[in-house]
Amino acid sequence: MSYHTIIIGAGAAGAILAARLTEDPDRSVLLLEAGPDFPTLEELPEEIRYAHSRPGNLWGRAFGPTTRYGWGYRATSTPSAESIFVPRGKIMGGSTAVNATIFLRGVPEDYDAWAAQGNERWSFAQLLPFFCKNERDLDFQNAFHGNDGPIPAWRFKREEWSPDHAAFYIACRAAGYPDSPDQNAPDSTGVGPLAHNNVEGTRWSTAIGYLNPVRQRSNLTIQAESLVHRVIFEGRRAIGVVVENRGELSTIYADEIVVSAGAIASPHLLLHSGIGPADDLLRLGIPVVQDLPGVGQNLRDHSQLLVTLRTKVDLPLDWRMPRLNTALRYTAQGSSLRNDMILIPCSNAPAESVTSAAPPVGFYIVPSLYLAIGSGSLHLTSTDAHVQPTLNYNYLAEPFDRIRLREGVRLILDLLDHPAYRAIVAERLTPTDDDLTSDAALDAWMLRNVTTSHHSSSTCKMGPATDPMAVVDQFGKVHGMDGLRVVDASIMPDCIRANTNVTTMVIGERIADLMQQGF
Size (the chain), residues: 519
CA 317, 53, 104 angle in degrees (round to 5)? 105
pTM greater than 0.85: yes
CA distance 420 to 422: 6
Identify the pLDDT of residue 354: 62
Supply φ then ψ for residue 410, to 5 degrees: -70, -30
- pLDDT surpasses 70 at 356: no
Average pLDDT for residues 99-112, to the nearest whole number?
Answer: 96
CA distance 427 to 421: 11
Asked: is 2-516 a CATH 3.30.56.10 domain? The reply is no
Q: Where do runs of H (alpha helix) occur along 55-140?
A: 60-63, 108-116, 124-134
CA distance 373 to 198: 32
- Closest by CA to 463, choosing from 444, 451, 453, 476, is 476
Identify the pLDDT of residue 59: 44
Question: Which tens digit of pLDDT belongs to each residue from 176-198?
Answer: 999 999 999 999 999 999 999 98
Alpha carbon separation from 52 to 96, 143, 441, 463 (Å, rounded): 14, 30, 35, 38
CA distance 251 to 256: 14
CA distance 516 to 510: 10
pLDDT grade for 349, boundaries at 50, 70 and 90: confident
How many C-beta atoms lie closer than 10 Å to residue 438's C-beta? 10
| β-strand partners of 137 | 153
Identify the pLDDT of residue 52: 58
Identify the pLDDT of residue 155: 95
Identify the pLDDT of residue 160: 87
Average pLDDT for residues 429-433, to the nearest whole number?
Answer: 96
* Percentage of residues in the chain having pLDDT higher than 90: 86
- pLDDT surpasses 70 at 61: no
CA distance 295 to 82: 26
Identify the pLDDT of residue 106: 98
- List the chain domain ranges: 2-516
Average pLDDT for residues 294-304, to the nearest whole number?
Answer: 98
CA distance 124 to 101: 22
455 has catalytic annotation: yes
For residue 355, the surrounding DSSP H or E stretch is: none
Would you say the C-alpha torsion 444, 352, 390, 505 has a positive or negative sign?
Answer: negative
Question: Which tens digit of pLDDT belongs to each residue from 222-264?
Answer: 999 999 999 999 999 999 999 999 999 999 999 999 999 999 9
CA distance 35 to 10: 9
* Percentage of residues in the chain having pLDDT higher than 70: 94
CA distance 412 to 172: 10
pLDDT grade for 56, boundaries at 50, 70 and 90: very low
pLDDT grade for 55, boundaries at 50, 70 and 90: very low
Q: Is 309 left (phi over 0), alpha (psi -120 to 50) or beta?
A: beta
Identify the pLDDT of residue 327: 98
Catalytic residue of the set 145, 272, 455, 479: 455
Identify the pLDDT of residue 58: 45
Average pLDDT, the chain: 94
pLDDT grade for 345, boundaries at 50, 70 and 90: very high
Q: Exposed, middle or buried by CB within 10 Å (0-12, 13-18, 19+), for 27?
A: middle
pLDDT grade for 453, boundaries at 50, 70 and 90: very high
Q: Are strands 190-193 and 198-199 parallel, antiparallel or unpaired?
A: unpaired
DSSP per residue, 127-186: HHHHHHHHEEESS--STT--BSSSEEEEE--GGGS-HHHHHHHHHHHHTTPPB-S-TTST
